[in-house]
Amino acid sequence: MMSRGNALEVLIAGLRGSPTDRADWQAVIALANHTLLTPDLFSSLARAGQIHQLPQDVREYLRFVHDCNRERNLRLRSQLREAVAALNRSDIVPLLLKGAIPLFLSPAGQIPSRMTSDLDLAVEPAEEAAARTCLEELGYVDVAAARGMARQQDAGMLELRTSRANGFAPPKLVRRDGLRVKIPTAQSRAMHWMVHDLLKEGDYWRGRIDLRHLHDLARLAESDDVDWTSLQRSISDGTARNAIDTQLLAMHHFFGTRIPAKCAQRRMVRFQHWRRIFTATHPVVGAPLRLAGNLMWGTWRFSRVYGLARRGPSDFLRRIARTLFNPRTKI
């Protein structure tokens, strides 16, 4: 049976277009499914002309998942375009975020292989009420116990949020097929992913890696001119800077992304990088390290954000348990 570390190594090689001989594909596929990277694995190997190096049953399974995801992404793109058109009619130009960006920008005959859970749009604070009304007129309703709006016939939820200034260059206005959207700069997109995973979800303290988002960052670095040094300088908080450098080291470790040499200079960054890689490749032996990080982060976050006085101790414990023991798509 292939270890987690070996399965991860084979998956990364496949995402880089280089299949590995004599792999335990059952373990590799299980990891690809867990990290939502199965369609990307197929498309990476297909683009590299290496897909036929895989066993036939593996190749057929990867193609099946890839094709199913393609159909879903086509539906998501139609849903996105409908929502943007409705907002534009009210003179609202939404800011696209995360997976909505490649869905909108991809040519008509192509569709990205990335698995997208939902559609993220942002509008100016003064436009939020009008934007919500536009979506409600399309049949969207708020989803109970979740952030977002949905309709029964759609492939995914739509999350509407307000935009915030981030200190980088303003987003670019993009016109396509009569629709108008704003696209964040590459640095803004990179910062959004990093802050969301490492700080908001606590991956920096918890020793987790969202491999799908790390792959997104690596591809962004290949296709756009991301100035990592400038991004580092924009962070004044020491902990946040350590977290960003730790993520950059992970990108270099897994995907060979070129990063500033200064990323590895601080001992804390090197330790956090080692801890994340160790727990990702040795989940059983590394469990105590992850548990300690989970407890520290969970207690800190919920004692401040939710507060025992407002929610009560039972709610406090329930939220900690839900956060700590829900692995989601992380490794």
What is the per-residue pLDDT across 24-58, written as a single tens digit (0 to 9) for each?
A: 999 999 999 999 999 999 999 999 999 999 999 99
Cβ–Cβ < 8 Å for 8, 331: yes
- With helix as H, strand as E and coil as C, how does 253-278 read? HHHCCCCCHHHHCCHHHHHHHHHHHH
CATH of segment(s) 76-184:
3.30.460.40
Q: What is the DSSP string of 275-312?
A: HHHHHHH-TTTTHHHHHHHHHHHHHHHHHHHT-HHHH-
Looking at residue 294, its pLDDT comes to 82
Looking at residue 100, its pLDDT comes to 96
Which stretch of DSSP H or E encloses residue 2? none
Looking at residue 264, its pLDDT comes to 87
Q: How far apart are CA 148 and CA 158, in angstroms?
A: 5
Looking at residue 307, its pLDDT comes to 47
Looking at residue 326, its pLDDT comes to 55
What are the phi and psi torsion angles at 192 (to 5°)?
-60, -50
- Residues of the chain falling short of pLDDT 50: 307-309
Looking at residue 160, its pLDDT comes to 94
Looking at residue 214, its pLDDT comes to 96
Looking at residue 308, its pLDDT comes to 43
